[in-house]
Structure 1
Amino acid sequence: MKKVELSELFQSLEKLGLDRESVFQDQILKKLRLQWNDIVGEVFGKQSYPKSIDGKKLTVVCRHSMVSQELEFQKSDLLQKINRITSPVLLEKIHFKTGNEFQNPRS
């Protein structure tokens, strides 16, 4: 098996239309989804999930407005926990969204 340099890998991804930042964001999002219950607790973990990362903003979809509101109260603590996981990439904002689009990818 041939060893591939990281720079070669990123060049290949760019040829496919993927940039380095989007690859890192996808991986961070997957990691957050896997650890979401540890971040917010099991009760809120079943009622919410990290949907997307856009720049330095994480969007979280919640099943009910009460869940959104409670997580909003915990926003600064959650951001600290999240940034321990995402380091060295640091997120600056969390947006909680309540909606019909709730389909937890982990359930």
Structure 2
Amino acid sequence: MKKVELSELFQSLEKMGMDREAVFRDQILKTIRLRWNEIVGDYFGKQSFPKSIEGKKLTVVCRHSMISQELEFQKTEILTKANVITNPVLLEKIQFKTGNEFQNPRS
């Protein structure tokens, strides 16, 4: 198997229309999703789902407004735990949304 330099990989991705930051955000989001229960606990992990990262903002979709509200109270702690996982990229904001778009593939 040929060894590929990281710069070559990013050049190939850019040729396909993908930028480096988008690739990093996608990987960070996947990692947060895998470890979401560690970050918020099992109960809230089943009731919420990290939907997207735009810039330095994580959007989380919740099954119910009460879940959104409770997670809002824990926002600082959640950001701290998530940033341990996303280091060196740091998230600055979390937005909790309630609605029909909740789709948790783990449930």
Normalised TM-score (structure 1): 0.98
Counterpart in the other structure of 2:9: 9
Counterpart in the other structure of 1:83: 83
Indicate the percent of aligned positions where both proteins have the same amino acid: 80
Runs of 4+ off more than 3 Å? none
Counterpart in the other structure of 2:67: 67
Structure 2: gaps spanning 5 or more residues:
none
How many angstroms apart in 2 are the aligned matches of 1:106 and 1:16? Answer: 31
Counterpart in the other structure of 1:49: 49
Counterpart in the other structure of 1:37: 37
How many angstroms apart in 1 are the aligned matches of 2:76 and 2:40? Answer: 12
Counterpart in the other structure of 1:105: 105
Structure 1: gaps spanning 5 or more residues:
none
In the TM superposition, what is the alpha-carbon distance from 1:90 to its structure 2 partner?
A: 0.1
Deviations 1:62-95 (A, max 9, x none): 0000000000000001000000000000000000
